[in-house]
Copies of this chain bind each other. A is one copy, B any other.
């Protein structure tokens, strides 16, 4: 994957500091836009981004344990517990005692939880779908490739891969 092309900086051009700083800004603005839709929805609740994140990952990994969720979210258990407590008390999340190991709590979304997840997620899916569509398949591939390279290697395992059927 090295320099298939000429001595010209053509394949190095994007590595100038200016180009890199531009990439940093792109990430900043894109990420902010990306969370603005859910944020607006959450204003109508007593929830914030922390709740959104919990809901997202419980939706994606039904039955996951608190510990696994802590690992993914990278916060303290006290912080996550406050969020989970509210969601459980409000009937959006269900916490089931583990069968094999009764210390563990397995988390699921209730129908109400799924409804909120769907609301939050649909705005982001819509935005991303439009962005993907306009950029085209090759761009999407590059987008995902670069993002995967950016993240901490230890986190790559947490990106839920698609099921092959």
Chain A interface (Cβ < 8 Å from any Cβ of B): 1, 10-11, 13-15, 17-34, 36, 53, 56, 60, 74, 121, 124-125, 127-152, 155-156, 158-163
Copy number in this complex? Answer: 2
> Across the interface, do A26 and B149 meet the contact criterion of CB distance under 8 Å?
no
> Across the interface, do B26 and A147 meet the contact criterion of CB distance under 8 Å?
yes
Looking across the interface, which residue of chain B has its beta carbon closest to that of A136? B1
> Across the interface, do B162 and A19 meet the contact criterion of CB distance under 8 Å?
yes
Of B17, B133, B144, which one neighbours A125 at CB under 8 angstroms? Answer: B17
Residues in B whose Cβ lies below 8 Å from that of A134: 1, 149
CB distance from A38 to the nearest CB of B (A): 10
Of B1, B135, B145, B162, which one neighbours A18 at CB under 8 angstroms? Answer: B162
